[in-house]
Structure 1
């Protein structure tokens, strides 16, 4: 009886381990490596109009690497580029989810080497290549930043079912909105007046529940075009959209 009980106990333990491992595995999309429902959603919106100097390029690269490494296992990172939105919304430059690294599994519960390879080839390398392409100046005459924020909010951050999912928006830009309708080049508006204007009402969006970071890329004429009032204006804009600015970072250089 003792031997039978021991065998039964072993079977139960092995079964429990198998069930735990099997239930923790998640089916991932072959290209994006995303599960059906990501554990978090981060959108990086990049607007590089003018060339960056050497210090800026290095600091920008550092911040991008930190961002990539901050995405938790099964968290989604969407990278988009500021662009005009007319009859269609922005399409992501790349979407990837962190499948985990060798540190997330053990030989008893999985294959650490295979998981690490998947992270390096399917997550790390494609994102690094996308970041390198986005770091180059676009030379665009317009910077529809508000339109682009509205677009990614609608397509990525406010999808039904994401209400309880941690969401983050990072805008890497000189923050100088510049379109025919709204331009911060010509005259920096007073924050309250701007967020109550008809122009803003057309561009506002829903950022409730979204944490926002602003990475300000300084221009050579920053003293005149990017005063402290610019950051204050953007904090007011994000607040009016229901979001929360958690960090404003001035890229070095």
Structure 2
């Protein structure tokens, strides 16, 4: 007797179709959940008290401002505008530090030192909380920056301007460590760039770098800028003891001599005196 094949009814086929669709839906949902979870986790970065990633800043920009001599009001506004522009360009996780030059050791004073925690602009609408990020940025970074911008141009007149010592102090504390060498580093010096100490002074009319190398200042303030980019924002004076072109050439040589990379120099608006 021949065997009889069982035939599936149309209702059985429909049932299996729904089961398959349901299983595919579960798989798709699991994949979607996994993607959202992984994406959300990737945007969570643990921060320290300075809003820097606990693993270290992604980059660093240090700004040294010389207020040991008076600065014209329009120059102060120009400095503050450039500082805001610089701050807005700091990457998420990057350190921005603003320091004032002082006439006594350690030759610089911290005014602002925070990492940009991100303002939420780069967060996904599905996996990030952009509103919370903006609030954290404003409270933790934006407001303290506004306070620092006012302090940055306050007069701090002194009889000496140890620019080299200030740069050396920053290099030792921020640039030479192995961890610091692994990230992009930028130093901006805001000054008339007239070095004035007992060891060397541009007010004596000297801009010849070979003559400088014979002075006590050459060894005393020698440092390692560790390949960092160095820019100068030049504060202009009505009366200059040296030619401005020769002055910039001197500092370019000094930066190179101390293992930095001279990036640019710009004259600020306004003239003091």
TM-score by length of 1: 0.92
Which residue of the other structure, out of 175, 200, 204, is the alignment partner of 1:182?
Answer: 200
Q: Aligned-residue CA RMSD in angstroms?
A: 1.8
Distance in 2 (CA, whole Å) between partners of 1:69 and 1:246 is 19
Cα shift readout 1:187-232 (whole Å, capped 9, x = no counterpart): 323113324544212201111220011011111213x445211111
* Distance apart, 1:52 and its partner CA: 2.3
Q: Return 5+ residue gaps in structure 1 as ranges.
A: none
2:44 is the alignment partner of 1:25? yes
Distance in 2 (CA, whole Å) between partners of 1:174 and 1:102 is 38
Which residue of the other structure, out of 222, 226, 238, is the alignment partner of 1:204?
Answer: 222
Which residue of the other structure, out of 66, 71, 76, is the alignment partner of 1:52?
Answer: 71
How many residue pairs get matched? 250
Distance in 1 (CA, whole Å) between partners of 2:131 and 2:250 is 48
Which protein shows a greater Rg? 2
Are the equivalent residues in 1 in contact too, given 2:103–2:158 (CA < 8 A)? no
User: Which moves more between the two structures, 107-116 or 52-61?
Assistant: 52-61
Alignment of 1:56-205 (within 5 A): 56-84=75-103, 86=105, 88=106, 90=108, 92-195=110-213, 197-205=215-223
Are the equivalent residues in 1 in contact too, given 2:59–2:184 (CA < 8 A)? yes
Distance in 2 (CA, whole Å) between partners of 1:196 and 1:165 is 34
* Distance apart, 1:178 and its partner CA: 1.0
2:254 is the alignment partner of 1:237? yes
For 2:7, the equivalent position in structure 1 comes to none
Distance in 1 (CA, whole Å) between partners of 2:257 and 2:222 is 8
TM-score by length of 2: 0.85
Distance in 1 (CA, whole Å) between partners of 2:107 and 2:209 is 26
For 2:266, the equivalent position in structure 1 comes to 249
Partner SS, residue 193 of structure 1: helix
Distance in 1 (CA, whole Å) between partners of 2:185 and 2:122 is 22
Q: 1:46 to 1:248 in 2, by over 3 A?
A: same
User: Which moves more between the two structures, 60-69 or 105-114?
Assistant: 105-114
Q: 1:226 to 1:132 in 2, by over 3 A?
A: farther
Which residue of the other structure, out of 237, 244, 249, is the alignment partner of 1:227?
Answer: 244
Cα shift readout 1:30-89 (whole Å, capped 9, x = no counterpart): 4x2111211101111110123322321221121111111111111001111112454x57
